[in-house]
Amino acid sequence: MAARILVAGIGNIFLGDDGFGSEVVRHATMPRDESDVRVVDYGIGGMHLAYDLLDEWNSLVLVDAIPNRGNPGALHVFQADHDADDGTVGMDAHSMDPQTVFASLRALGGNPPYTVIVGCEAGSVDEGMGLTGPVAAAVPRAVSAIREIVAALRSSAPKEC
């Protein structure tokens, strides 16, 4: 059976570079709703993502802005640490902290799938729409990274007999 991969863009488009994930999935050229790959802009809908993860996805590619470490626009691709949460579930239905989403998913009876995060260091998360120059320049690189990640996840999935 083919692996089921969910590509989720997250972030708040009204807070500058925090809207990176939404902007990336808007530009992603891959099909948005195939049987094995789904691309969705979740914006700030953390509970929506948690509920969708109950559908037993094999992998999640989470696209988001990450804190500035001195190099706005730098991309970081890494595996999520599902064991980093403290088990508490916040009450904010709009929270997009990945650990809060994973904790909410567990509270609903699900388990997080294998998760790869494509993160971009934010330059500014001040109120306002639009990405800063360095973060906007990272969008095409992030789209390419997602294509490569999805291809690798597809090729590593068990083949049907």
**CATH number for position 36:** 3.40.50.1450
Distance (Å) of CA 143 to CA 73, 125, 140: 14, 21, 5
- Tell me, yes or no, whether 52 lies in a domain: yes
- Tell me, yes or no, whether 141 lies in a domain: no
- Tell me, yes or no, whether 135 lies in a domain: no
According to DSSP, the residues that pair with 114 across neighbouring strands are: 59
Query: Residue 17 has what DSSP assignment?
Result: G
Confidence at 93, pLDDT banded by 50, 70, 90? very low
DSSP states along 45-101: -HHHHHHHGGGT-SEEEEEEEE--SS-TT-EEEEE--GGGS-S---S-TT---HHHH
- Tell me, yes or no, whether 4 lies in a domain: no
pTM attached to this predicted model = 0.87
**Number of domains comprising the chain:** 1
- Tell me, yes or no, whether 149 lies in a domain: no
| Residue-range definition of the domain harbouring residue 64 | 11-83+96-127
Of 27-36, 60-69, 87-96, 134-143, give the lowest mean pLDDT range.
87-96
How far is 154 from 161, CA to CA, in rounded Å? 16
pLDDT in tens, 17-73: 999 999 999 988 766 556 789 999 999 888 899 999 999 899 999 999 999 999 999
- Tell me, yes or no, whether 63 lies in a domain: yes
What sign does the dihedral 32-104-83-85 (CA atoms) show?
Answer: positive
- Tell me, yes or no, whether 38 lies in a domain: yes
Task: Report the mean per-residue pLDDT for the chain.
Answer: 86
- Tell me, yes or no, whether 91 lies in a domain: no
How far is 51 from 73, CA to CA, in rounded Å? 31
According to DSSP, the residues that pair with 79 across neighbouring strands are: 116
